[in-house]
Amino acid sequence: MGQINRDDFYELIKARKSIRQFKKQEVPAEVLNRILEAAMHAPSGKNRQNWRFFVVQGQKRDEYLKYSQKSWLNIKDILHERLKPSLYAFTERFFFTLGDAPVLIFAYSQNSSEEKHYTSIGSVYMAVENLNLACVAEGLGSCTMGAPLEIKKEVDEFLGVTELEDYKKGELELLCGIVLGYPDHNPPKAPRQIEGRVTWLK
Q: What is the pLDDT of residues 114-138, one digit of tens each?
A: 999 999 999 999 999 999 999 999 9
Residue 2 confidence (pLDDT)? 60
Q: Is residue 156 part of a domain?
A: yes
Residue 64 lies in a domain: yes
**Residue pair 120/50 in contact by the 8 Å Cβ criterion:** yes
3-state helix, strand, coil in the chain (%, to 5): 50, 15, 30
pLDDT (tens place) for every residue of the chain, 202 residues total: 567 899 999 999 999 999 999 999 999 999 999 999 999 999 999 999 999 999 999 999 999 999 999 999 999 999 999 999 999 999 999 999 999 999 999 999 999 999 999 999 999 999 999 999 999 999 999 999 999 999 999 999 999 999 999 999 999 999 999 999 999 999 999 899 999 999 999 9
**Domain containing 44 — which CATH number?**
3.40.109.10
Residue 56 DSSP symbol: E
144 alpha carbon, distance to own chain's centre: 3
Q: Which amino acid is at 174?
A: L
pLDDT tens-digit series, residues 46-62? 999 999 999 999 999 99
Domain containing 113 equals 12-181
Confidence (pLDDT) at 4: 83
The Cα 202–Cα 200 span in angstroms is 7
Residue 141 bridge partners (DSSP): 181
Type of residue at 122: G
Q: Is residue 154 part of a domain?
A: yes
Distance CA 128, CA 132 (A): 6
Q: What is the DSSP secondary structure assignment for residue 122, as one 8-state letter?
A: H
Question: Rounded to 5 degrees, what angle do the CA atoms 153, 159, 163 make?
Answer: 80
Q: Is 115 helix (H, G, I), strand (E, B) or coil?
A: coil
What was the pLDDT predicted at 3?
Answer: 79
Quick one: which H or E segment has residue 69? helix 58-82
In a domain, 162, yes or no: yes
- Provide CB contacts within 8 A for 81, sequence distance 6+: none
Number of domains in the chain: 1
* Domain membership flag for residue 201: no
Whether the pTM exceeds 0.85: the reply is yes
97 found inside a domain: yes
Distance CA 107, CA 53 (A): 5
Q: What is the pLDDT of residue 137?
A: 97
**CA-based Rg of the chain, rounded to a whole angstrom?**
18
Q: Is residue 19 part of a domain?
A: yes
Q: Return the pLDDT at 1.
A: 53
Whether residue 131 is contained in a domain is answered as: yes
The closest of 96, 182, 178 to 145, measured between CA atoms, is 178
Residue 108, beta-bridge partner list? 52, 174
